[in-house]
């Protein structure tokens, strides 16, 4: 008996097949084949389904010469690709001091640490650098253990904090927790996130449960009694925005029960949400902040842990002993990135462009039978796609994605059905309008 498809599944398959046919280009096929042969295969990464030959500003270009506005960028391209000030700073630093062995310090790295401490609120003033966000999360967890004398953590299902053993233990995405023989980090407790699936796929939204999710955090902290830290994304990059008062309630619970609050700002920090830190929207100051991704200017890998000064208690042992801990080249790229964000007013620009984009999407799409929600902050927003009966529809989301890709717009589908749009903060308004038009047209066409 032949395989049966629903009409939506057939249309999605056709869209995917049409895109695959566009990849019929000798250089492209050769590179994809070499990639599949050379790299260990893993979910979401290898083998790859597309190629890239050039990246500049908001644009990526493949080996067949096709250009796409990149509204994904793995959250590194806050200031676009190849920003001339970042590239010039890196070249200059390579000529003056290309590397700094551990136990030696250098002015560039110290200046970056001082700069981040000055940008952080409250008493967040002690810094440690790593080469990636997952490693920085591990440093934050080790520091929390050292400072509290406890080992348990509380985090959220569906969260992503990296791929290391510790980071994937506190994370809540199945892809990064499955397929590993044996246990992950002990003591890693999880609770439902704000706007959990019970809210997200029912049209009423997060107000359905109010702050019940925050009360669950307090329940576990009180029941366990010895949790070192709560680690969380201030705004889930799905994207999902927390309900008003959520983080204030969680922070108050942490204070009552002696747990530290770690904010993972790896995708959301440095102005992406219209505030320099995403937690600034919620009126709190955490105990430890983790930054990464865009900190290297969409060029070099760099992440940072910024902690309260009184948490500097681990001097007798190593909590982040990395070869490139004070690499002057990556630090110079970060300093140039911070200069660009400040000099070009990108934090305020992200707030303005994001509000404009979401107002437009809500005006044109809310009421469409396959749109459940439009949500986000700043230059990180998304459209949740559903079937006409209100259930989440990954098939429709994928069909819309390929229709947009064919029109020169690349983005990510999150949670199976959310078109996640993350434009660089430097995007021209005309390009943003064109991208929104592509999304709107594809959604309305899919709705019939």
pLDDT band at 45 (very low <50, low <70, confident <90, very high): confident
The answer to whether residue 206 scores a pLDDT higher than 70 is: no
Q: Please give the DSSP secondary-structure letter assigned to residue 275.
A: S
Report the top-level CATH class of 84-343: alpha beta
For residues 115 and 335, give the distance between their C-alpha atoms in angstroms, rounded to a whole number: 8
* 8 A C-beta contact, residue 184 and residue 169: yes
Length of the chain: 448
Which helix (H) or strand (E) segment holds residue 415: the answer is none
CATH number given to 53-79+346-447: 3.90.1150.10
Helix and strand element counts for the chain (H, E): 13, 15
- For 406-446, what is each residue's pLDDT tens digit? 999 999 999 999 999 999 999 999 999 999 999 999 999 99
Q: Can you list the alpha helix ranges (DSSP code H) found in 171-211?
A: 197-200
Average of per-residue pLDDT across 123-147: 97
Average of per-residue pLDDT across 398-407: 97
Residue-level pLDDT at 25: 77
For residues 148 and 138, give the distance between their C-alpha atoms in angstroms, rounded to a whole number: 16
Instruction: Retrieve residue 7's tokens.
Output: 């009409």
The answer to whether residue 158 scores a pLDDT higher than 80 is: yes
- For 26-36, what is each residue's pLDDT tens digit? 889 999 999 99
Report the phi/psi class of residue 82: left, alpha or beta, with left for phi > 0 and alpha for psi in -120 to 50: left
pLDDT band at 2 (very low <50, low <70, confident <90, very high): very low
pLDDT band at 199 (very low <50, low <70, confident <90, very high): low
Query: Where do the domains of the chain lie?
Result: 53-79+346-447, 84-343
The answer to whether residue 24 scores a pLDDT higher than 70 is: no
Which helix (H) or strand (E) segment holds residue 418: the answer is strand 418-421
Higher local confidence (pLDDT), 399 or 206: 399
């Amino acid at each position: 008996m032949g395989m049966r498809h629903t009409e939506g599944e057939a249309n999605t398959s056709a869209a995917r097949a049409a895109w695959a046919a566009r990849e019929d280009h000798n250089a492209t096929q050769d590179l994809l084949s070499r990639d599949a042969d050379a790299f260990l295969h893993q979910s979401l990464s290898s083998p790859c389904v597309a190629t890239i030959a050039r990246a500049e500003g908001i644009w990526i270009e493949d080996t067949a010469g096709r250009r796409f506005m990149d509204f994904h960028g793995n959250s590194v391209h806050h200031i676009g690709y190849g920003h001339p000030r970042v590239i010039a700073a890196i070249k200059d630093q390579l000529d003056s001091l290309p590397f700094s062995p551990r136990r030696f310090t250098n002015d560039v790295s110290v200046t970056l640490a001082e700069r981040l401490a000055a940008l952080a609120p409250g008493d967040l003033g002690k810094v440690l650098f790593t080469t990636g966000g997952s490693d920085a999360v591990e440093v934050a967890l080790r520091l929390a253990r050292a400072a509290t004398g406890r080992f348990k953590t509380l985090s959220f299902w569906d969260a992503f904090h990296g791929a290391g053993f510790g980071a994937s233990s506190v994370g809540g995405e199945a892809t990064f927790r499955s397929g590993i023989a044996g246990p992950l980090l002990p003591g890693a407790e999880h609770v439902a996130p704000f706007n959990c699936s019970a809210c997200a796929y029912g049209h009423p939204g997060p107000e359905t449960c109010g702050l019940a999710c925050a009360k669950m955090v307090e329940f576990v902290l009180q029941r366990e009694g010895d949790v070192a830290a709560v680690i969380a994304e201030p705004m889930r990059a799905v994207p999902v925005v927390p309900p008003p008062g959520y983080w204030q309630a969680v922070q108050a619970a942490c204070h009552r029960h002696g747990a530290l609050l770690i904010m993972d700002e790896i995708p959301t920090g440095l102005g992406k949400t219209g505030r320099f830190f995403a937690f600034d929207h919620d009126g709190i100051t955490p105990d430890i902040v983790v930054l990464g991704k865009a900190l290297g200017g969409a060029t070099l890998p760099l992440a940072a842990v910024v902690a309260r000064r009184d948490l500097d208690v681990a001097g007798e042992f190593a909590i982040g002993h990395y070869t490139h801990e004070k690499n002057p080249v990556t630090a110079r790229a970060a300093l140039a990135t911070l200069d660009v964000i400040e000099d070009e007013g990108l934090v305020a620009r992200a707030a303005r462009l994001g509000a404009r984009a979401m107002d437009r999407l809500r005006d044109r799409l809310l009421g469409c039978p396959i749109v459940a929600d439009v949500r986000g902050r700043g230059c990180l927003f998304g459209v949740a796609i559903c079937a006409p009966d209100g259930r989440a529809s990954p098939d429709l989301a994928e069909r819309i994605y390929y229709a947009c890709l064919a029109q020169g717009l690349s983005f990510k589908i999150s949670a199976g059905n959310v078109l996640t749009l993350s434009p660089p903060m430097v995007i021209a308004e005309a390009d943003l309008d064109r991208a929104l038009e592509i999304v709107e047209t594809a959604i309305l066409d899919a709705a019939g």
